[in-house]
Structure 1
Amino acid sequence: MDDQPFRGSLALQRGMVTRNDLRRKCRRLFNDVYISSSADITALTMVKAAWVWAGPDAVLCGRSAAAVLGTKWLSPSDPVELVRAHRQSPKGIAVRSYILALEDIRQDRGMRITTPARTAFDIGRKLPAEQAVPVLDALMNATGLKPTDVMALADSRPRARGVRLLRTALGLADGGAESPKETEVRLLLGAAGLPKPETQIKFFDEYGEAYIRVDMGWRQWKVAVEYDGVQHWTNARQRSWDIERIALLEAMGWVVVRVSAEMLRRPQLVVDRVRAKLRAAGCPI
């Protein structure tokens, strides 16, 4: 028994498990769909389990397609979204009634899913911007999808419900974000009227190799903003490199504003610090 979802009745028929195994060594995810009790339950795990339940006529869409495409930070508690003719579904699976063109569908890991552009199209028009943008950021980061790719799809379907909401979300999305907190910081600065920062700014050594990267910032004024996740405080090697990296940036004339989770609970403090550094560097704000 591996750590992949499986249909219990089929495994019993083939002699791969016993009924006692299903009761004692497995976890039931959906009707007749099980997984080893020792398996980690991720968003992708739940998507695979729903695919086993739904069968090959279904198409995974929305955040579920995003999970298959490698999007990080998705929650396993989110309902699995799929398109199929039969609307009935168990708790934890949401069946959509989308009309999908053949070009909207691709195969990935043996499952039928919507393409990256169609996936973003559905996410952006179904979720409020504050929920959609972090997922769009992560999807773009994982796939290399560009907002223009999604805009082209939206332009071809101007009467689709939620297109205006989608355009708003795409205007805020940036595939450079590497975590939802980085997205939160960027959106906070934008909402405060600060210039839009460039994400994932790279610095190269004399051999043309990138040796420093900052989350976001403004090259013109040499101001960077970094979100420090828990690894920056608990990982000794990471913390040592952070100290060295900031010293190198300061030697090049850059100013770095570091933001923590605790600081984000005081958003005005973050905005005020960044605004002050930009003004001191000559930014006309």
Structure 2
Amino acid sequence: MIDLARMYAPKLREGQLFSHTTAARLHGMPLPFHDQVSMTVHVTSVRGTRVRARGVVGHVIPDAVASFVEELPVVSPAQTWCHLAIALPPGYLVAVGDYVVSGRRLPGGARTPALCTMAELGFAVLQHGRRRGATALAWALPLLRSGVDSPRESMLRLAIIANGLPEPTVGLPVHVAGGLTLHPDLGYPDALVAIEYEGDEHRSDTKRWRRDLRRIALLEEAGWRVIRATDDDIADPTSLIRIIAAALRDRAETVVTRSRNPG
């Protein structure tokens, strides 16, 4: 997408910015796969008329805020997220929003800077007003969480909430043997229940598979119950919800028993 944008960039006039899904790609937002192969460029004009050209979708947004990706003028991350509300399913809108306020996790646990803050997103939603997508934005904004590592983790969290379980904590720090601190994808710290999402790359990458096994062993050694989830559990969470609910009940009963019999 950045190469396509660079090819079109010399045609941009003053007050014109890349926007919508083009801006999202330039900002690195994880859109659904089908958009990755799109050869359409979205261009927003802050003033004047919309761009009309082959392969270009033109927009006019007088209050568009400019930012830059390398040398390319792009609508700001916060406003770009708002513009995606008319293009993405509600759950994926949350997943992209999670990325916007989370950044990417780096080896060793550090993260890249977030594209914007929750406050900036909130202001952008307020500025968006009652335009198309306003209902989806009002639903998605309170569900955004920072520290999320992938869209599938977001979808997993939403599936858990939608099925009546308490919302799990994202990326909570767990201190384990050897002075290490691990961050399970989702978890219930009071019950010591962790939920780890495992995509196909966890299975096909030998090093990652071995690292995952070691993570699980260390978490279990520290007293945590680890529940592993896949894409099948997101598509049909029935079994997963039952397993999580049972784990939470078992842990609650254990805590009560220990409190009654401290010796």
Same fold (TM over 0.5): yes
* Counterpart position of 2:75: 114
CA offset digits 1:51-106 (Å, max 9, x no partner): 35546652012232222223235532344322033431323x322222225xx112
How far did residue 50 of structure 1 move? Answer: 4.2
The answer on 1:165 being equivalent to 2:136 is: yes
User: AA paired with 2:26?
Assistant: V
Which has more radius of gyration?
Answer: 1
1:200·1:214 contact (CA, 8 Å) conserved in 2?
A: yes
State yes or no: 1:67 paired with 2:25.
Answer: yes
| Unmatched segments (≥5 aa) in structure 1 | 1-42
Aligned: 1:187 with 2:187? no
Q: Is the 8 A contact 1:223 1:277 kept in 2?
A: yes
Partner AA of 1:229 in structure 2: G
Letter in 1 for 2:36: P
Contact kept, 8 Å, 2:18 with 2:43, in 1: the verdict is yes
Q: Deviations over 1:112-132 (max 9, x none)?
A: 111122222222365441332
Q: Per the alignment, do residues 118 and 239 of structure 1 end up closer, same or farther by CA in structure 2, a change over 3 Å counting?
A: same
Residues 225-269 of structure 1: CA distance to partner in whole angstroms, max 9, x if unpaired?
Answer: 111122221222222221221111112111111012344343211
Show the counterpart of 1:124: 85
RMSD of aligned C-alpha atoms?
2.7
User: Aligned equivalents of 2:29 and 2:3: distance in 1?
Assistant: 13
Number of aligned residue pairs: 237
Distance of 2:92 and 2:21 partners within structure 1: 11
Normalised by the length of structure 2, the TM-score is 0.77
Distance in structure 1 (CA, Å) of the matches to 2:172 and 2:138: 26
Contact 2:177–2:222 (8 Å) recurs in 1: no
TM-score w.r.t. length of structure 1: 0.72
Change (3 A) 1:51 1:193: farther
The answer to whether 1:275 aligns with 2:245 is yes
From 53, 64, 81, give the equivalent of 1:89: 53
* Residue 254 of structure 1, aligned match among 220, 224, 239: 224
Residue identity matched to 1:68? L
Question: Secondary structure of the equivalent of 1:214?
Answer: coil
- 1:222 aligns to 2:192 (yes or no): yes
Q: 1:98 aligns with which of 61, 68, 75?
A: 61
CA spacing shift, 1:63–1:198, aligned 2, 3 Å = farther
Matched, 1:135 2:96: yes
SS class of match (2:62):
coil
1:4 aligned partner:
none
- Decide whether the 8 Å contact of 1:66 with 1:139 is kept in 2: no
Given that residues 165 and 245 in structure 2 are in contact (C-alpha distance below 8 angstroms), is that contact kept between their aligned partners in structure 1? yes
How many angstroms does 1:210 deviate by?
5.4
The worse-fitting range, judged by mean Cα deviation, of 47-56 and 59-68 is 47-56
Which whole-Å CA distance do the structure 1 matches of 2:196 and 2:173 have between them? 13
- Name the SS of the counterpart of 1:231 in structure 2: helix
